[in-house]
Amino acid sequence: MKQVLVLGGSGFLGGHVCEKLVRAGYQVSVATRKAVHARAVMHLPGLTVLECNIHDEAALGRAMVGMDAVINLVAILHGSPAAFTHVHQDLPEKIAKACLAQHVQHLVHLSALGVQSHRPEAAPSHYLRSKGLGEALLADTLGLGARPSAHPSCGLTLLRPSVIFGVNDKFLNVFARLQAVFPVMPLACAQARFQPVWVEDVASAVLKSLAQGLAQAPSLRVYELAGPHVYTLRQLVQFAARCSGINHGRGRPVLGLPLWVGRLQVMALKLMPGEPLMSADNLASMQTDNVVQGEYPGLATLGIQASALEAIGPQYLGSQAATKGLLGLRHRHR
């Protein structure tokens, strides 16, 4: 039985990944700073929760002892430039070094659509720049980058998803809740383009790429993960409202804002308690379309049929219920 360590297993995507790994027969360990953070997955049969500060290199190395593979799902959407560097660059480099030291066979790393492989430093936002530079650090450390090792010992799969939707997502659900409160939706970057991908499809891609990596010689593979259709941000906001029955299914009027007004809006949102709904860095990221470019293979290459937003969204946006199955919605219409 293959041993797999999941970093970020307590998050939105992590729960779906852990369930699929357990169902597939892997022995799964989830590393988290506090066990209570992993309460959503700790009931899965055979899954072990490890209390571990993954940013501590010694602790990370101990967590990888005996592991055949590692899956890194850790990421942030908001933060300072230093925070993005800490999570998206420093941590991946530590993970790669630990993988080599502990003779891990394969590493699956969740990146992001919009990352620029050849010039990651030229990306428009701290988020995309740090994600791209993190990819480069992983590949170089594992001997799979610009100066490849003659005999690399650990393979690497980079998965680049578009925005991920599904039960309890922090994307479409947020737009639905906002429109339940406000009579008008002021929206910066309303024409930004996205190609949303279902969380179950991304989790399946993790599972498939893991099996592929463990079965083949160590190498670097990159996949772009996206749904079958492209939408503007305005269309996605309107879709969330329709599915949620806001204003009898009509939703709220969407008021597109110039970028400079959007920046003022972001400054106002900073004053609100909790994690910001939107940041200046998010606006910068949306200057680049979040759609596949065709440079790398996608879900179809992994044998996965991309699910349409129209088939899945109404199932959870309409009821807001996430009580079916082990971790949430598991119904799929084809």
Q: State pLDDT tens for residues 273-294.
A: 667 677 889 999 998 899 998 8
**Dihedral (C-alpha) 286, 299, 168, 328: value to the nearest 10 degrees?**
180
53, two tokens:
């500060």
Predicted confidence at residue 246, as pLDDT, reads 83
User: At what angle are helices 172-181 and 309-317 packed, to 10 degrees?
Assistant: 50
User: Which segments in the chain show pLDDT lower than 70?
Assistant: 269-274, 276, 319-334
Strand (E) or helix (H) holding 57 = helix 57-63
* Separation of alpha carbons 334 and 193, rounded Å: 25
**In the chain, what are the domains?**
3-164+196-225 (3.40.50.720), 166-194+229-290+307-317 (3.90.25)
Mean pLDDT rounded to a whole number for the chain: 90
Residue with tokens 């939107």: 278
SS3 203: helix
Predicted confidence at residue 184, as pLDDT, reads 87
Q: Is 185 exposed, middle or buried, given 0-12, 13-18 or 19+ CB atoms closer than 10 A?
A: buried
End-to-end CA distance of the chain: 32
Amino acid making up residue 52: C
Task: Tell me the sheet residues that pair with 155.
Answer: 106
Nearest to 61 by CA among 21, 38, 31: 31
Strand (E) or helix (H) holding 244 = helix 233-244
Predicted confidence at residue 258, as pLDDT, reads 86
3-state class percentages of the chain: helix first, strand second, coil last, to nearest 5: 40, 15, 45
Predicted confidence at residue 272, as pLDDT, reads 63
